[in-house]
A = this chain, B = another copy of it.
Amino acid sequence: MCLQCDYESLLRASRLDVTDNRRRVLEVIGNNSYPLSAADIFQTLQRSAAINRVTVYRILDLLVAHGLVERISTGGRAAYFGLAPNEHHRPHPHFYCKRCGQMECLNPESLTLDSDAFGKTFPGRIDKVEVRLDGICKNCMR
């Protein structure tokens, strides 16, 4: 998703110690063109070197808390994770295939939403706007 991103610098910029595991988690997420579930990330990491499931969850929480990674809900049960919007990546909607469970990133322009205007009239704090389309992807259609 982001060849311009230097994951180590991203960690440092958030004042997080750089550890192997953190760098690896961020790499797996960043190198994918679509968001992954915690289980996907865990399995991918396991293939290259041992890591504990709980460590993955903890690192994901940390990265989400520091705004490096975004937690995306699905029509299903598990949460998915992708790089959070930043100067290289604008916020964008996602498409979730109910059949195969894969999530796609959609073009930021494809569906626009004026949430700023709404935010001004809303009597609470808005941290995030999530737009998700659910359906069947073209591969599963056949």
Query: Which residues from B are CB-within-8-Å of A95?
Result: 122, 124, 126
Q: Is there contact, CB below 8 Å, between B98 and A124?
A: no
Q: Which of A110-142 contact B (CB under 8 A)?
A: 110-115, 118, 121-138, 140-141
Q: Is there contact, CB below 8 Å, between A118 and B125?
A: no
Q: Is there contact, CB below 8 Å, between A138 and B123?
A: yes
Q: Is there contact, CB below 8 Å, between B133 and A129?
A: yes
Is A22 located at the chain interface by the 8 A CB criterion?
Answer: no
Query: Which residues from B are CB-within-8-Å of A132?
Result: 73, 129-130, 132
Complex copy number for this chain? 2
Q: Is there contact, CB below 8 Å, between B111 and A136?
A: no
What number of A residues sit within 8 Å (CB to CB) of B?
35
Q: Is there contact, CB below 8 Å, between B129 and A125?
A: no
**Pick from B73, B115, B122, B136: contact of A125, CB under 8 Å:** B136
**Chain A interface SS verdict (over half):** mixed
Instruction: Kindly provide the distance from the CB of A42 to the nearest chain B CB, expressed in whole angstroms.
Output: 18
Is A67 located at the chain interface by the 8 A CB criterion?
Answer: no
Complex Cα distance, B134 from A25, in Å, reads 25
Selected A-B contacts with CB under 8 Å, 11 pairs: A95-B124, A106-B118, A111-B115, A122-B133, A124-B136, A126-B133, A126-B134, A128-B133, A129-B133, A130-B134, A131-B131
A→B interface (CB under 8 Å): 71, 73-75, 95, 97-98, 106, 110-115, 118, 121-138, 140-141
